[in-house]
């Protein structure tokens, strides 16, 4: 659910999250990201921050992401008209990953949908917030109230020791199942808390009032297991976990099925289901399911030590183009380069080696199953 990181100088035109002053205090190095001046790394550097999150608990500022409330009696059925997810069957206190689809079966955005009983909360990608808010406001007009929650921050506490940290501040949160959501107080601060994240690790996403975000972050950072982690390590963590990056691995031109995200089409929304179809792209995706997608997302292991970056061309033995890299970098947990990309379906099905064109030379690239690092979500 998160866009890639590129280094850039700070600009006065960039927005700041409520934790900006705290990032400065912590010695962050910043990058321009989705219109915000965001911390890409701190003094330990990306690799150490990545490994700290895998071993302990990392605190990420993701307040740049969009948060949207849907209210009204018809909110669930209204939202179902825009997504293949099962929204009306989502129990109170639960959330799920979902896609907003286009008429062609592409992906407008990948989002989280949380049911708090009296409202649905959507967390959307920062770079897509304006487009998604307009899309929802237009499509759902007269059916439910669509409100941007600009007065909330969003923090992610991720890693195998995250639950132990929160247990000291709000004991009930340690028992939350994966993908559950609740309103809870943390150190006296009212928050929305979900047991979720985008690193492949156990953890939580916490939405406090924006004016209390600094106080909460300082309290969490006071725990010995917790360190601030920047967007650089967040990107390498999600890549190791085989999770898609909007604007790279998925976008409006990417088929839900080619991306390997067909599982987000709930059984109830498939042909023969209780509420089959009724979402944008339903017919297009069923036609594609019958024939199979023309290309498929794959995990890729480049030979050698040089990372392969987004846009790198993939060719077969004869030199014909068969695919492209959409996310690539160094995987600190594996101590080697890793990548994801799209391959022509017949090549992907055979699991045959392909070759990347890197600075005029061919690099052998092996296909592998995703994720690169097994997920360690909390399962009750």
Q: Are residues 193 and 46 in the same domain?
A: yes
Q: Using 50, 70 and 90 to split pLDDT, how confident is the model at 10?
A: very low
CB hemisphere CA count around 281 (13 angstroms) = 26
Q: What is the CATH number of the domain that holds 179?
A: 3.30.1360.120
Mean pLDDT, the chain, rounded, equals 95
Spatial distance between the Cα atoms of 183 and 179, rounded to a whole number of angstroms: 14
> What's the pLDDT at 1?
56
pLDDT tens digits, residue range 346-369? 999 887 889 999 988 999 999 999
Asked if pLDDT for residue 3 goes beyond 80, the answer is no
Supply the pLDDT for residue 349: 80
Question: Does residue 104 sit within a domain?
Answer: yes
Q: What is the pLDDT of residues 41-84, one digit of tens each?
A: 999 999 999 999 999 999 999 999 999 999 999 999 999 999 99
Q: Give the pLDDT mean for 309-337.
A: 97
Helix residue ranges, H only, 179-321: 213-221, 231-240, 282-291
Cα 355 from Cα 363, distance rounded (Å):
5
Q: Which domain holds residue 275?
A: 64-149+255-291
With a cut of 90, say whether residue 320 has pLDDT above it. yes
Inform me whether the pLDDT recorded for 7 exceeds 70. Answer: no
Q: What are the two backbone dihedrals, phi and then psi, of residue 223, each rounded to the nearest 5 degrees?
A: -75, 140
Residue 339 inside a domain? The answer is yes
Asked if residue 116 and residue 56 are part of one domain, the reply reads no
pTM, entire model: 0.95
Q: What b-and-e string marks burial along 336-357, b requiring 16 or more CB atoms within 10 Å of the CB?
A: ebbbbbbbbeebbeeeeebbbe
Asked if residue 222 belongs to a domain, the reply is yes
User: Which residues fall within 8 angstroms of residue 181, CB to CB, at 6 or more apart?
Assistant: 93, 94, 95, 114, 115, 116, 121, 192, 193, 194, 195, 196
Domain membership flag for residue 13:
no
Angle at 218 between CA 212 and CA 220, to 5 degrees: 100
For residues 4 and 34, give the distance between their C-alpha atoms in angstroms, rounded to a whole number: 10
Please say if the pLDDT value at position 250 is more than 60.
yes
Average pLDDT over residues 9-18: 78
Q: pLDDT band at 12, cuts 50/70/90?
A: low
pLDDT in tens, 142-200: 999 999 999 999 999 999 999 999 999 999 999 999 999 999 999 999 999 999 999 99
Distances in whole angstroms, Cα of residue 349 to Cα of each of 288, 298, 343: 16, 10, 9
309 located within any domain = yes
Q: In what order do the strands lie in the sheet with 95-101?
A: 95-101, 107-115, 120-124, 66-71, 145-148
The pLDDT value given to residue 371 = 98
Percent pLDDT > 90 in the chain is 94
Phi, psi dihedrals of residue 216, rounded to the nearest 5°:
-65, -45
Tens digit of each residue's pLDDT (9 = 90 or more) over 254-291? 999 999 999 999 999 999 999 999 999 999 999 999 99
- What gap in Å lies between CA 272 and CA 255, rounded to an integer? 22
**pLDDT above 70: residue 8:** no
Claim to verify: residue 44 and residue 168 sit in the same structural domain:
yes
Angle between helices 213-221 and 162-169 (to 10 degrees): 120
Within this chain, do residues 37 and 86 fall inside the same structural domain, yes or no?
Answer: no
How far is 214 from 189, CA to CA, in rounded Å?
11
> Looking at the structure, do residues 58 and 159 belong to the same domain, yes or no?
yes
């Amino acid at each position: 659910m998160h866009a890639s990181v590129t280094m850039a100088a700070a600009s006065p035109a960039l927005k700041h999250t409520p934790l900006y002053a705290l990032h400065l205090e912590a010695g962050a190095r910043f990058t321009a990201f989705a219109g915000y001046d965001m911390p890409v790394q701190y003094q330990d550097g990306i690799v150490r921050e990545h490994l700290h999150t895998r071993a302990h608990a990392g605190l990420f500022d993701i307040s740049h992401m969009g948060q949207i409330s849907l209210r009204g009696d018809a909110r669930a059925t209204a939202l179902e008209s825009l997504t293949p997810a099962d929204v009306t069957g989502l129990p109170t206190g639960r959330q799920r990953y979902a896609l907003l689809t286009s008429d062609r079966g592409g992906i407008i955005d990948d989002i989280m949908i949380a049911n708090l009983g009296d409202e649905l909360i959507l967390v959307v990608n920062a770079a897509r917030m304006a487009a998604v808010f307009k899309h929802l406001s237009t499509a759902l007009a007269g059916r439910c109230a669509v409100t941007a929650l600009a007065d909330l921050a969003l923090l992610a506490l991720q890693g195998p020791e995250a639950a132990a940290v929160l247990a000291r501040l709000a004991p009930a949160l340690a028992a939350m199942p994966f993908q559950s959501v609740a309103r809870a107080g943390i150190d006296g601060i009212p928050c929305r808390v979900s047991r979720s994240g985008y690193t492949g690790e156990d953890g939580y996403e916490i939405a406090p009032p924006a004016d209390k975000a600094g106080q909460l972050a300082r309290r969490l950072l006071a725990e010995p297991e917790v360190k601030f982690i920047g967007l650089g390590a967040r990107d390498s963590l999600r890549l190791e976990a085989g999770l898609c990056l909007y604007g790279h691995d998925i976008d409006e031109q990417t088929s839900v099925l080619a991306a390997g995200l067909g599982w987000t089409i709930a059984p109830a929304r498939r042909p023969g289901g209780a509420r089959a179809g009724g979402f944008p792209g339903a017919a297009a995706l069923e036609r594609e399911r019958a024939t199979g997608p023309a290309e498929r997302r794959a995990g890729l292991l480049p030979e050698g030590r040089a990372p392969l970056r987004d846009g790198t061309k993939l060719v077969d033995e004869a030199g014909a183009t068969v695919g492209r890299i959409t996310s690539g970098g160094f995987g600190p947990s594996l101590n080697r380069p890793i990548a994801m990309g799209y391959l022509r379906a017949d090549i992907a099905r055979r699991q045959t080696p392909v070759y990347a064109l890197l600075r005029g030379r061919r690099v052998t690239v092996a296909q592998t199953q995703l994720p690169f690092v097994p997920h360690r979500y909390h399962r009750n």
